[in-house]
Structure 1
Amino acid sequence: MVDKIRSLYNYLVEKAPEMTKDWRSFQVVKAGSDYSADAPPERARKVEEQNTKYFRTVAKSLLQTEEEMKETIANWTKQTSADRVKSRTSLVEVQRNLSIFRKVYWMHIKRFAETANLDITTKDIFHWQEVIDYTLDYVMESFTENFMDILLSRLSAQSILIKELSTPVIPLSSEVGLLPIVGDIDTERAKFIMESTLQQSVKLGITHLIIDLSGVIMVDTMVAHQIFKVISSLKLIGIQSTLLGIRPEVAQTAIQLGIDFKEITTENSLGKVFRKLNI
């Protein structure tokens, strides 16, 4: 069996460019896909080079242990998954092309079995199927894991950027800053506001922060507690605070909930704060 496996391996490695052409023949026009029949020439060439390497990489699994195969495949999918994310090729399209790849692979293994001058048995065929299909399944598993890790990492980075943009401390003078808070405040955002506000205030070197709540629709006990924590933390590092723009309905809700703002400096207009701080 060893000689037959080696012969099959050599055949697949030699036929890899031809297998890539067969794979290309199954492609259709698919907007935004690396696999599209009308993909730009430079992109098409790169994908074809990757696929030729892919055919040979999978063939190598015939000669490898399971551990060796997984290491080889993981190294390959790490790069190709990054390329597909960069080109915005969907995971669905990758899955479709893995099916085409599998079809082409078995088409050529069938040709090998029909033309090779070897005593190929049913047992040989089933062994090859077990190895090749297991490898192709692992390709998709490894590719998907890498693909999703990259996407989730990007989404996380974008989420952090959005949060930073939504809670900016705006310097009004060398000593005074303004923090406009807009929208709902949940636990996660409240924690981010706390961390971001302290860092930005220290970085700017301000001594007084105006916290504008005019864009906050609802204040409940959790939100009030987080605001108090921000103000207390700022006080600990020598920064005084003024709450600005508490809406009438928010004030009514706060009273009904028993939230007490009497220990906190509040104002109803930015002009009054400016006059008080001599800005």
Structure 2
Amino acid sequence: MKEELTFIGNKIIEHRTHLAEQLEGFEKSDYLVDIVQSALSKTEIQEWRSRLFQYLGESLINDYAEVKGKVEQWANDIGEKAVKSNIPLNETIAIMGYYRTLIWKTFDKEIKENQFAAITVLDVNKYINPLLDQVIFQFSQIYIKHNNQVYQQAQEKLTELSVPVVPIADGVAVLPVVGEIDPERAQLIMETSLEQSSKHHLHYLLIDISGVPEIDTTVANYLFQVTHSLELVGVETILTGIRPEIAQSIVGMGLDFTRVKTRANIKQALSEITLT
């Protein structure tokens, strides 16, 4: 049986280039377009595939643990290149199944003539299948990691956009707040305000809340905390954009905004800063 495994392994290695070329016949047209449009050349792709066929052949002959390490490194390198080239994961994984198909197609004659014992076929699969499964697993992990990074970057960008501190003059910036203020966003407003105030050496920060749909006791407390925190680092905060209906609501709830400097709009606040 060992002789049969060695024969199969050597033949896979011998035909590795031809096997790699044959894979193209199993690729979908849109997958081919993705490859052509990527930074990968057709020659490079065939060389990588040929190398994997070689490793699969070696797994039947050489030390299995050593070959497994080579396959894992191959999967990591190719997975990273596929991600960077924007090749879809489903297409990358789909083509892996055809490695098995082509390997056994190479031995059609021997199988038809019953030259291999049934146990040999099972043993070949026992060696090769786990390696291909490992490749698929590593590809999946690489794509998951990449997608998580993209998502995290998008979240960070969204966060920046949700609390934009915009410098408009030396020592003066505006923070327009649009939408509801919940505990998480209030914390974000505070952290961003302090960070940007230090970064831009601010003396004044105008927080425009004309885009905040409602101000209740909770939201008011959030705003008080932000202004107090900024006051402690020497930044004067001015709230602008309190709409008439919001002002009525504030009075009706008995909220005390005397602790915070407020102005009707940014223009009014700026004119007073200029006069100071």
1:205 matches 2:201: yes
CA contact (8 A) 1:32 1:88 kept: no
Q: Secondary structure at the match of 1:278?
A: helix
Please report how far the alpha carbon of residue 212 of structure 1 lies from its aligned counterpart in structure 2 after TM superposition.
Answer: 1.0
1:211/1:49 CA distance change after superposition, 3 Å: same
CA contact (8 A) 2:16 2:50 kept: yes
Q: Distance in 2 between matches of 1:249 and 1:171?
A: 29
1:59 paired residue number: 57
Q: Secondary structure at the match of 1:232?
A: helix
CA contact (8 A) 1:20 1:48 kept: yes
1:200/1:26 CA distance change after superposition, 3 Å: same
Q: Distance in 2 between matches of 1:187 and 1:131?
A: 55
Please report how far the alpha carbon of residue 241 of structure 1 lies from its aligned counterpart in structure 2 after TM superposition.
Answer: 0.8
- Aligned partner letter, 1:5: L
1:261/1:39 CA distance change after superposition, 3 Å: same
Q: Equivalent residues in 2 for 1:60-209 (5 A)? A: 60-62=58-60, 63-65=62-64, 68=66, 71-108=69-106, 110-111=107-108, 113-114=110-111, 120-209=116-205
Superimposed CA distance per residue, residues 28-86 of structure 1 (whole angstroms, 9 cap, x where no aligned partner)? 32068545xx66796322222222122223334434445x5554333222222222222
Q: Distance in 1 between matches of 2:108 and 2:54?
A: 17
Q: Secondary structure at the match of 2:259?
A: coil
1:219/1:112 CA distance change after superposition, 3 Å: farther
- Structure 1 unpaired stretches of 5+: none
Q: Secondary structure at the match of 2:176?
A: strand
1:232 paired residue number: 228
1:262 paired residue number: 258
CA contact (8 A) 1:73 1:142 kept: no
Superimposed CA distance per residue, residues 202-244 of structure 1 (whole angstroms, 9 cap, x where no aligned partner)? 0100111111112223445654444333322212211121111
Q: Distance in 2 between matches of 1:228 and 1:107?
A: 74
Q: Distance in 2 between matches of 1:20 and 1:174?
A: 63
After superposition, the CA RMSD in angstroms is: 3.1
The TM-score, its normalising length taken from structure 2, stands at 0.83
1:25 paired residue number: 25
1:42/1:202 CA distance change after superposition, 3 Å: closer
1:242 matches 2:234: no
CA contact (8 A) 1:77 1:143 kept: yes
CA contact (8 A) 1:34 1:84 kept: no
1:39/1:167 CA distance change after superposition, 3 Å: closer
- Structure 2 unpaired stretches of 5+: none
Moved more, 140-149 or 220-229: 220-229
The TM-score, its normalising length taken from structure 1, stands at 0.82
1:229/1:60 CA distance change after superposition, 3 Å: farther
Q: How many residues align?
A: 274
